[in-house]
Amino acid sequence: MIVRIVGWLIDLGELLFVLNLLTLLIAAPVKRFRWFAGFLLYMSGYVWAMTLIAWCAVVVHAGWGWFLTILGLAFAGVGIVPVAFFCLLFSRSWASLWELLFQFVLAACGYAFGPRLMGED
């Protein structure tokens, strides 16, 4: 069941990625559109972070089992990301490791640049 939910979150994240690219291209020359683009980017950061945490939980559970999955989730949910990083690093899954880093940067940029576009520095 959780794998199906992660699949839906990934599909939603990809759709939001495309929508953000389109809105940011429109917001570059149109100043009145920047608030909406920033708001969409900020809200997308939440979806991308949720996707990252769920995907990391699946990766850790598949690689190292229940104990480290529960331990990583016990640290407010975000503890699962470093555990997944080390799980992928030690198993030498380089493509998945780059995907994890990309998802982390995507979520962090959503949180960092969304409020700046909205003008809430």
Model confidence over 27-83: pLDDT tens digits? 888 888 889 999 999 999 999 999 999 999 999 999 888 998 899 889 887 899 999
Question: 120 pLDDT band (50/70/90 cuts)?
Answer: low
| CB half-sphere exposure, 35, CA atoms < 13 A | 3
Contact (Cβ atoms closer than 8 angstroms) between residue 99 and residue 85: no
pLDDT digits (tens, 9 = 90+) for 76-97: 878 999 999 999 999 998 999 9
Q: Which pTM does this prediction carry?
A: 0.86
Q: Which two tokens stand for residue 85?
A: 């990083």
